[in-house]
Structure 1
Amino acid sequence: MNTKLLSRVTFSRALPAATLALLLGGCMAGPDYHRPAVTMPAQYQPLPGWMAAAPAAAAPKGDWWTMFNDPLLDELEPQVSVSNQTVRQSYANYQAALAQVQVARSALFPAIGISGSADKQRSAAGNAGSGTARQHSISTSGSLEGNVSWAPDLWGKVRRTLEENKANAQAGAATLANATLSEQTALASAVIELRVTDASIDLLQQTVDAFKEYLRVVGNQASAGTVPPSDLLSARTQLENAQSSLLALGIARAQYVHAIAVLVGKNPEDLQIPHGDSLPTLPEVPAGVPSTLLQRRPDIAVAERQMAAQNAAIGVAVAAYYPSLSLSAADGFTQSPLAGLLHVANHVWSLGADVGETLFDGGERHGEVAAAKANYEAAVANYRGTVLTALQGVEDDLSGLHVLARQADVLDDAVHNATRGAEIALNEYQAGTVDYTTAATARATQLSTQQDALNVRQQRLLDTVSLIGDLGGGWSVDQLGAAAQTGARR
């Protein structure tokens, strides 16, 4: 029985130094990656009367939600990156991608192993048929061995695989950033919806109070017999409708609170948010120039890194055309019986090399290369489509904010006029110069106009959140460098 122990194995012993240098500096199959060019406009399309926002160098780059000056946003937004389950899932996927980088890198280095064994056996001598007593002997043997195996990356397959996995890890980092930004903007939108609902509750409560006063006035006049009974019924019906609408808002408010709780990783019943007294501040967000989207949008970074990964996959597929080489070495001792195992006389060693090449595979490798190239072209199309979608989103946001700003100015005047008209109509009704329908219609017009103005304010806030998200929030593609360094340390 042969046994081996690795004492010290060096690659210079297995190969001449010049040959080793050649193996380590082997070529890399497949194309090197170059990011495809995309057509970017010089500026966003201006609308009539549109003015570019003033530069805001002091605006928050990371905690963008502080621009809205809402304490609830300031409290809850930081919890998204910690407790939101969608973000946690993306983080786990990113960690898995980093682990795959470590797995790919390990193939660049030799595998070193050591093993040992011991054996004791009993043997018999003599002929039992001849009556001679059988003699028994016990022998011992053992092994203690080590070995090294290494497959030099002659054609760059391992390095292309490592390149692919690094790009996938960076795509995972960008996916994590995109998920975080998406959930943060979703939370900001939900908080705005909640604040607007609270404002609508306040508005309807004022309307209910006004209709109660209307009912009191009509009741007094009905008791005096100066108005028909139908006015009293109309006033009561109008009040009850307003009270019903006010109660219905409670359902919407509860749903927004539940949505906010889930976004910050809490059970819906665990989060209580008191009634808000004011709306978030409407900030001015500088859009910059379109080309900055390539650096600021994490979803574009995801698509770009996926392109890089697919490009590296072409090299992995092409490398399959070339022969593979595997080297092995062992050094140790062998002895039976076990005593004196480590004596120099028992020293043994071996070197080996294994070369393999596929001569015929029925077109398998050709198909793998063709598939890799097609996947790369699909990634390129996805990248360019993502850029176009990003440009569309920003243009939509800017157009919406521009039109809504003009609409808000018009509605401010309309609210002022409707409020004044309702006051005049009530005074005229009390004076008996107009009927109740006129006064009630004026008050309903005031409520409708105020609600329209509130809705426009809500949409401006939501479009601003959307614009911040479409501009990439406070993220930058430079952060992918940190992701690459993290992968290199693993």
Structure 2
Amino acid sequence: MLAGCAVGPDYVKPTSTTASTYKELEGTGWKPAQPADFGTRGAWWEVYDDPALNALEARVATENQDVQAAQARFRAARAAVAQFRSSFFPLVTASGDYSRARSSANVLHKSTAGLTLNDYLVQADASWEPDLWGRISRSVEGAKAGAQASAADAQSALLSMQAELATDYFELRGIDQEHQLLDNTIKAYRDALDLTQHRRAGGIATDADVAQAETQLRTTEAQAIDLDVQRTQLEHAIAILTGQNPSAFSLPIAPLVAVPVVAPTGVPSALLERRPDIAAAERQMAQTNAQIGVATAAFFPNLVLSVTGGLEATNFSSWLMAPSRFWSLGPTLAGTLLDFGGRAAVKEQAQAHYDESVANYRQAVLGAFGDVEDNLAALRVLEQEALAQNDAVSAAERALAVISNRYKNGAITYLDVVVAQTTALSNERQSVAIARRRMAASVALIKALGGGWDASQLPTDEQIVHPDAPSGAASGAPVTRG
């Protein structure tokens, strides 16, 4: 291609701050194994062993419209690479023309004055700009990096939708479990109300006891109805995430049976290759770096080689004969001599965009480490909280049994029973809430670790240029797993 020296800086990946270990792993006994040991590659949600969740997750890659939009943006970015690459090759155009015109008779020294003539013309033009300063190659370099960034963005969108679906699903199952708890409690409260009414009829209980028992029952029924609202909204959200109409979608009631899984974190430095959002930020740095080269090339003249040839005649019968041919060939060298700082401003702007992308990359790295540490801490603390809460539930149940027996024996008023029932129910609901939070933190940790993805799955330069090229670990399109 007669490509010359590509001006501008060659891309070098900037450094970023990492740590040797995750702080929140200390003292937990959790092993920082590699994700491959954990099985998070591919369908990471299968570690929860929930067939209903597996079926829903399988739809996200193909049916979620946010994911489809992100993949369309990748295809557009890949097409932009083809557009820039076309500048490496000559531009060839062709045209044909016919006209009939009369020249003025009052024009001196013109051989066609006063004549009416036909003009038959067919011609082809070709022009080619050798990439002497790397303007085209830098543009292609930037477009390829942009396409890879778009592929990483598409993977990030997919991972986000998969994680959101899992979080909503476990939240819904937690609500189902809490609803089951309330249903059992409502049944027990109805029995308690019947008992209190019979005791009042026998002169043992008072009207106040009956009123307190009924209040307890109605309050719990209202709480169960409120859970119905939350469940319905989560069901609608799951339908949308899986590309289904909420009006035609429903999930059968089932309790939360999955247990939180602590994903192996690997070494912190590996996180830079496992997060698609970090990969996107890194590729955006490469893209903006290439734009500095494009801006630098504008300071140098452009060389264009042009050739034109064709046939032209005033008579149709002689139009396609050899004497009708014409041609021209020659180079054009053009450059800007004075623009009062315009090109310098464009280069400065490109440098500023690169500096911005570096800051964004480093911020993405810091945020990624923060995500991992946050969810490791959440899982560690919630595990301890769950153990303490289980003890609280057991203690509340024992207290309720003792107080209920004392009430039946007439030793205390029903108010004491109400207090014990409220305490027991509150502790049981809190236990379910902690279970939901542990599942959410478990999913969030897997997402924070990249869901088993790594940067080797980005499309290579060859796969961007030729989408049907064979691939190994990488793919010519954003990686979708379902």
TM-score when scaled to structure 1?
0.88
Could you tell me how far 1:413 is from its partner in structure 2?
2.0
Whether 1:377 and 2:355 are equivalent positions in the alignment is yes
Deviation string, structure 1 residues 440-466 (Cα, Å, up to 9, x no partner): 222221111111111111111000111
Amino acid at match of 1:97: A
- With over 3 angstroms needed to count, the CA separation of the structure-2 counterparts of 1:47 and 1:115, relative to structure 1, is closer
SS in 2 for 1:24: coil
Counterparts of 1:66-85 in structure 2, within 5 Å, are 66-85=46-65
Q: Which residue of 1 aligns with 2:15?
A: 37
- With over 3 angstroms needed to count, the CA separation of the structure-2 counterparts of 1:234 and 1:122, relative to structure 1, is closer
Distance in 2 separating the partners of 1:331 and 1:66? 66
Distance in 2 separating the partners of 1:137 and 1:406? 103
- With over 3 angstroms needed to count, the CA separation of the structure-2 counterparts of 1:46 and 1:138, relative to structure 1, is closer
Q: What is the percentage of aligned positions where both structures have the same residue?
A: 38
> Which stretch shifts more, 274-283 or 59-68?
274-283
Deviation string, structure 1 residues 261-310 (Cα, Å, up to 9, x no partner): 22222232121111113333322311111112111101101111111111
8 Å contact kept, 2:176–2:253: yes
Could you tell me how far 1:344 is from its partner in structure 2?
3.2
SS in 2 for 1:114: strand
Distance in 2 separating the partners of 1:35 and 1:47? 29
8 Å contact kept, 2:262–2:379: no
8 Å contact kept, 2:40–2:452: yes
Deviation string, structure 1 residues 77-106 (Cα, Å, up to 9, x no partner): 122222222222212222221121111111
Whether 1:488 and 2:465 are equivalent positions in the alignment is yes
Could you tell me how far 1:139 is from its partner in structure 2?
5.9
Could you tell me how far 1:148 is from its partner in structure 2?
0.9
Distance in 2 separating the partners of 1:310 and 1:165? 10
Could you tell me how far 1:207 is from its partner in structure 2?
0.9
Q: Which residue of 2 aligns with 1:25?
A: 3
Could you tell me how far 1:409 is from its partner in structure 2?
1.3
- With over 3 angstroms needed to count, the CA separation of the structure-2 counterparts of 1:140 and 1:359, relative to structure 1, is closer
Among 196, 207, 214, the alignment partner of 2:185 is: 207
> Which stretch shifts more, 112-121 or 380-389?
112-121
Distance in 2 separating the partners of 1:377 and 1:122? 63
Q: Which residue of 2 aligns with 1:271?
A: 249
Q: Which residue of 1 aligns with 2:198?
A: 220
Counterparts of 1:355-434 in structure 2, within 5 Å, are 355-434=333-412
Q: Which residue of 1 aligns with 2:68?
A: 88
- With over 3 angstroms needed to count, the CA separation of the structure-2 counterparts of 1:459 and 1:298, relative to structure 1, is same
8 Å contact kept, 2:98–2:120: yes
Amino acid at match of 1:61: R
Among 398, 404, 417, the alignment partner of 1:439 is: 417
Among 52, 58, 61, the alignment partner of 2:41 is: 61
8 Å contact kept, 1:91–1:176: yes
The two structures, once aligned, show a CA RMSD in angstroms of 2.1
Counterparts of 1:80-229 in structure 2, within 5 Å, are 80-119=60-99, 140-229=118-207
> Which stretch shifts more, 272-281 or 334-343?
334-343
Q: Which runs of 5+ in 2 are unaligned?
A: 106-113, 468-482
Q: Which residue of 1 aligns with 2:470?
A: none
8 Å contact kept, 2:95–2:122: yes
8 Å contact kept, 1:331–1:350: yes
Amino acid at match of 1:277: P
> Which stretch shifts more, 59-68 or 389-398?
59-68
Q: Which residue of 1 aligns with 2:221?
A: 243
Q: Which runs of 5+ in 1 are unaligned?
A: 1-22, 126-135
SS in 1 for 2:88: coil
- From the CA coordinates, give the structure whose radius of gyration is larger: 1
Q: Which residue of 2 aligns with 1:17?
A: none
8 Å contact kept, 2:276–2:455: yes
Q: Which residue of 1 aligns with 2:239?
A: 261
Deviation string, structure 1 residues 110-134 (Cα, Å, up to 9, x no partner): 0112222344568999xxxxxxxxx
Aligned residue pairs, count: 457
8 Å contact kept, 1:67–1:281: no
Counterparts of 1:433-472 in structure 2, within 5 Å, are 433-472=411-450
Could you tell me how far 1:433 is from its partner in structure 2?
2.6
